[in-house]
A and B are shown apart, each in its own frame.
Chain A
Amino acid sequence: MKPEQCHHLIDYFNGTMTSEESAEFERHLQECSECREELAELRILTEDLPYLSDPVEPSPGLKNRILEAAYSEGQPIKEEPSEFQAYKASAEPQIKKSKRSQSLIIGGLAAGLVLSLGANIIQMSDDKEEQLVQSEVLERKVALASVEGNKTLNANASFLKEKGDQFMVLQADGLPEIKDGELYQVWLIKGEKPVPAGYFTPDEKGNGALVYKVTDEDLDWDTVAITVENEPNLSAPKGKVVLAGNM
C-alpha cells in the first residue's frame, strides 16, 4: 500500500494545500522516487497547454505601466520621467483609488482618455497628453444617471476607437461608499442581455473610472448600467442598479 502522502501530488502541483502540508509533501518527495517522477512527468505533460490560449491583445500602455512598476519599486526614479510617468502623476488626483491596483486598470491610454474628457477638472501642465490622445476618436458618449434620482451621482461612458479597437472609458463621481468586498460592476446591455464590462472600486471621494475594451459582439448594445456586486463579472447582475443610461 502506498504511503498516504503519495495521494497529495495533484494538490501539491496546484498549490491547494496549506504551506505546512506543502512542506510535508516536499519532505516526502525527498524519499519517494515515484512521486518525484510523477511530478516531473506532470510538468512535462502540461508544458504545451498554455499554447491552447486564444490570442488576446493586451491594452495599449500595459508595458509602460509594468515597466514603471518594476523600475520604481523600492527606489526613487532617477531618470527623466517618461511620457507615461508625467501622465500618471497629473492624472493621479482624479484616479488614485482602490485596494486593487487601480493604476493598472486606469493607466496609460485610460489616464489620457480620462484626462481628455475631464479637462476641466485637471489642468494639463504639459501637452504630451494631447499628443497621446490624438489617435483616439470619440464615437459616442452616454450620460448615466442615478436610478434613485441622486443628483450628486453622475457618470459618463465614452466610446473611443483607437487603432481599430473600441474602448469604453467610464468615469463616475459621487458614488456611495460600498462595503469591503463589494465592487461596482459595469454592464453593457442589449435588449435583455447584459454583458459584464469591467468593474472598479471608488476612491475615498467616491470617484471611480475604468477602461473596457469592447469586443465586436458587444457593438450593438443599447444601455450602460452600473450595479453593486459582491463578485466581479457575474453572468447577470444580482445587485441593485445604481446608475443607468440609454443610447
Chain B
Amino acid sequence: MVENNDAVLYERLAAKDKQAFETLYDRYEKLLFSFAFKITKDRGLAEEVMQDVFVKLWNGTHAFESSKGKFSSWLLTITRNKAIDMIRKYAKHEHVELMDKDALISEEKPVDKIIEWKEDRELIRSAVSELNVEQQKVIDLFYFKGFSQQKISEKCGVPLGTVKGRIRLALKHLRETLEKGGRSDYEA
C-alpha cells in the first residue's frame, strides 16, 4: 500500500505537483539523510547528497519507472550512488576510515528517542551480527564504501578473482538469516 502510495505520489511529482514532492520529501528525509550520513560520515556532505537527490528528482534528471522496482529502493540507490561519489571526491585519501573504526554496525546507544525504521534496523543488525567479521567487513567495503574489486581484494587480503564470490556469499548469508525472521531472538 505504501509502495503504491509512493508510486502515485511520484506520478504527481512528475507532473510538477509540489505537495506530492514535499510529502515524499517528508517521508524519506530522515532515512535518506541517515543513510547518506552513514556513508559520508559528514553532515555537510550528507546535506549536499540530499540536495542533489531531491533537486534531480524534482527536475526530472532522476526519473523513476515502476519497472525499476520499488520507489524506496530506487531512491536509496541514487542516494547511495551520490554519497559514494561525494566521498570519492572529498576524502581523497582514506582518513575517513580512521574515524570510523571500520564497524559495519555501530555501538548501540540507549533508546531515548522514537527511532525510525527501528524494527527493520533491529532485524538487520541482528542478522549482521551473525556474520563473521570477514563477511561484515566485505559488505562494509563493498556497499557502504563503494570500493573497487581491486581495493576490496587488497583490504581483505584475498585474491581478486574471489572478491565477487565473497561478497555474494556474505550477502546471501545475511539474506538467509533475515528470512529466518526473528527466530534467533527467541532462541537467545
Q: Which chain A residues have a beta carbon within 8 Å of chain B's beta carbons?
A: 7-11, 14-16, 38, 41-43, 45-59, 62-63, 65-67, 69-71, 73-74, 100-101, 104-105, 196, 198-199, 210, 212-213, 230-235
- A231 and B93: CB pair below 8 A? yes
**Count, chain B residues at interface, CB 8 A:** 77
Task: Choose among B38, B46, B47 the residue that contacts A52 (Cβ–Cβ < 8 A).
Answer: B38
Docked Cα-Cα span, A210 to B139, in Å, equals: 34
User: Main secondary structure on chain B at its contact with chain A?
Assistant: helix
* Interchain CA distance A73-B61 in the complex, whole Å: 12
Task: List A contacts of B50 (CB < 8 A).
Answer: 58, 62, 66
Instruction: Report chain B residues within 8 Å CB of A46.
Output: 143, 171
Chain B, 6-44, CB within 8 A of any chain A CB: 18, 21-22, 25-26, 29-31, 33-35, 37-38, 41-44
- Is there an interface contact between A49 and B44, defined as CB atoms closer than 8 Å? no
Instruction: Report the separation of the CA atoms of residues A212 and B69 in the bound assembly, to the nearest whole angstrom.
Output: 37
Closest to B125 in A: A52
> Cβ of B76: which chain A residues have Cβ within 8 Å of it?
47, 50
Residue of A at shortest CB range from B80? A50
Quick one: which of B58-115 are within 8 Å of A by CB?
58-59, 69, 73, 76-77, 79-81, 84-85, 90-93, 95-96, 98-99, 104-106, 109, 113, 115
Question: Residues of B with Cβ closer than 8 Å to A?
Answer: 18, 21-22, 25-26, 29-31, 33-35, 37-38, 41-48, 50-51, 54-55, 57-59, 69, 73, 76-77, 79-81, 84-85, 90-93, 95-96, 98-99, 104-106, 109, 113, 115-117, 120-121, 124-125, 128, 139, 142-144, 146-149, 152, 161, 163-164, 167-168, 171-172, 174-175, 178
B25 touches A66 (CB 8 A): yes
- Taken together as a complex, chains A and B put the C-alpha atoms of A123 and B55 apart, in Å, by 32
Task: Determine the distance from Cα of A47 to Cα of B91 in the docked complex, in whole angstroms.
Answer: 26
Q: Are A48 and B120 in contact (CB under 8 A)?
A: yes
Determine how close the nearest CB of chain B comes to the CB of A198; give it in whole angstroms: 7
The smallest C-beta distance from A185 to any residue of chain B, in angstroms, reads: 12
List the B residue with the shortest CB-CB distance to A12: B149
Interface pair A63/B143, CB less than 8 Å apart: no
Please give 4 more A-B residue pairs, beta carbons under 8 A apart, in addition to A15-B85, A42-B168: A9-B164, A50-B38, A52-B105, A66-B54
A54 CB contacts on chain B under 8 angstroms = 34, 38, 106, 109, 121
